[in-house]
Structure 1
Amino acid sequence: MLTLLSRGPRFYSVSLGEILRLQKRGYAVLTGVTSAAGSREWEITDAGRLALMSHEGGGT
């Protein structure tokens, strides 16, 4: 999911457990935009980008 967020903000349901786990780790934040269907827009944080780079081997 971080890979998708690294490509730009995305809409997800707040009830999606994975996005909430990313938020708790400081890897994703809400942008404040809500779709007509009720999904909320999320974007990756700098910490999320660093975690993604580290996981992909780009952080070493």
Structure 2
Amino acid sequence: MTIEPPALPPTAPTPPAAVPALPRWSSTVLLGERREALIDHRGEQYRLRLTAAGKLILTK
């Protein structure tokens, strides 16, 4: 006669690794009281602009 070990309970799925939070800046920090700001990125210059409708536009 063979004795079998008791059945193991089902295992819960492993939760995904925690994703670090993305950095976040307020548009008022970037623009201040102005409606435009210049951003330097890898030797290129980009313009961040606040439109009359309150939207942000980033252009090269």
TM-score (norm 2): 0.28
Greater RCO, CA 8 A, separation 6+: 1
Q: Give the alignment's TM-score, normalised by structure 1.
A: 0.28
Q: Which has the larger radius of gyration?
A: 2
Larger helix percent: 1
